[in-house]
Structure 1
Amino acid sequence: MAKKTAPDSTRRSEKSRRAIYDAALALVSEVGYQKTTIEGIAARAGVGKQTIYRWWSSKADVLLEAFIDLSAQAAEAAAHPEAIGEQAEYEIPDTGDLEADLKLVLRATVDELLDPKFEAPWRALAAEGMVNQRLGAELVGKLLEPQLQLYVKRLRAAQEQGAVRPDIDPRIALELFVSPLAQRWLQYAGPISYEYALHGLAPR
């Protein structure tokens, strides 16, 4: 008689966690953040409500973690499309041409902001982060700032190569061409496009 092996609780937990991520992202896109509930996420994921509360304290926390995971997967795919699912660290390319490298990343940013899969959870988290200081701090610390530091690193490398003035603060410089795009998108101030995102990089 074959010996039965005990269920792998780690694998079961990861499967449930992944289902909860997918459910939270899907519901926010379909019904909006306000109508998304822990009960709805649990039903969609096929898990008990207590399972979600075991890992997270609110739907905002679930959505934040799910969105960070989604962003990490997108970064991995962009950096190493042949190794999706494996650990990979995304870096802004350094071809020696700063303008070309920044244009490449800004185009990818526009694509992400216009992708319905990203847009709904992004907007929900940005709005909730304005009234929930803890969530806002986590959103900045875990997602926004690490992404911005990639720009800072590339700009510092350009400074070392003599492509950027040495007296410019890279952190401030990146805000000059990233912030207008983000504000236009968040405030529905107008359509975003490659042309709009890259306007500030055009030679005068």
Structure 2
Amino acid sequence: MAPDSTRRSEKSRRAIYAAALALVGEIGYPRTTIEGIAARAGVGKQTIYRWWSSKAEVLMEAFVDLGAQAAEAAGGDWAEEDGIPDTGDLEADLKTVLRATVDELNDPRYEAPARALAAEGVGNPAFAKEFVAMLLMPSLELYVRRLRAAQGAGQVRTEVDPYIARDLFVSPLAQRWLQGTGPLDHAYANKLVEYALYGIAPR
């Protein structure tokens, strides 16, 4: 029987993903190279260059795949590819998504490479721009669409800017994760939603 090239390619791709994520977590993005990824994955450099033009492309794709795997392994009730749920209860829907995000950020497989990539973005504007465009904006746009739907349903004031409102949910979560200023758990995610939706002034 002839070898299955599709299966062989998928096996190599998975090995490259794993190698890239492991290296960036162990030695950081600047020291990670295509040569290093190839050696760690047990493939030739040309195999990588056949699919990607740079290590940034490898890492970005590997990271997207890692997020999908983490969500599937968690067995939660939400996955990013499904979009933010619209059950008619905006508070419940946003809490579902933020709790799933907390689980992903706390996943050790995700955390080390995510921190390495975030740190690289601080000192490398070109990389940061690509990181934001490829990894962050697609998920952030889900919030904007859900908030616009809530505006259409009369659940959010029409004059509210959905992009600013989105940041009220996701930015504090990212800051606490990056700076470690407090526990990152479901209770925190729930409170973020409540404070953002209803404010903190006396009613």
TM superposition score category, shorter chain reference: 0.7 to 0.9
SS at match of 1:184: helix
In 2, distance between residues paired with 1:118 and 1:80? Answer: 16
Normalised by the length of structure 2, the TM-score is 0.80
The residue number in structure 1 matching 2:99 is: 107
The residue number in structure 2 matching 1:155 is: 147
| 2:42 equivalent to 1:41 | no
Q: Decide which of 58, 61, 69 is 1:62's aligned counterpart.
A: 58
In 2, distance between residues paired with 1:75 and 1:111? Answer: 8
- Asked whether the 8 Å contact 2:25–2:116 carries over to 1, the reply is no
Deviates more, 1:7-16 or 1:133-142: 7-16
Deviation string 1:158-197 (CA, Å, 9 cap, x unpaired) is 1111111111111110101211111121233333222223
| 2:199 equivalent to 1:197 | no
Q: Decide which of 176, 195, 201 is 1:184's aligned counterpart.
A: 176
Deviation string 1:121-175 (CA, Å, 9 cap, x unpaired) is 1111112122333322221112211101111111111111111111111111010
Supply the AA of the counterpart residue of 2:124: N
Deviates more, 1:61-70 or 1:191-200: 191-200
In 2, distance between residues paired with 1:168 and 1:110? Answer: 26
SS at match of 1:89: helix
| 2:81 equivalent to 1:89 | yes
Compared with structure 1, are the counterparts of its residues 121 and 128 closer, same or farther at alpha carbon in structure 2 (3 Å cutoff)? same
- Asked whether the 8 Å contact 1:32–1:120 carries over to 2, the reply is no
The residue number in structure 1 matching 2:15 is: 19
Normalised by the length of structure 1, the TM-score is 0.80
Deviates more, 1:50-59 or 1:108-117: 50-59
In 2, distance between residues paired with 1:105 and 1:98? Answer: 11
Compared with structure 1, are the counterparts of its residues 54 and 120 closer, same or farther at alpha carbon in structure 2 (3 Å cutoff)? same
Supply the AA of the counterpart residue of 2:65: D
Deviates more, 1:192-201 or 1:48-57: 48-57
Show structure 2 runs of 5+ residues with no match. none
Deviates more, 1:163-172 or 1:135-144: 135-144
Deviation string 1:21-62 (CA, Å, 9 cap, x unpaired) is 011123334454455443332222110233334444543332
Compared with structure 1, are the counterparts of its residues 79 and 115 closer, same or farther at alpha carbon in structure 2 (3 Å cutoff)? closer
- Asked whether the 8 Å contact 2:30–2:120 carries over to 1, the reply is no
Report how far residue 98 of structure 1 moved. 0.5
Q: CA RMSD in A?
A: 2.8
Show structure 1 runs of 5+ residues with no match. 82-87
SS at match of 1:111: helix
In 1, distance between residues paired with 2:71 and 2:137? Answer: 15
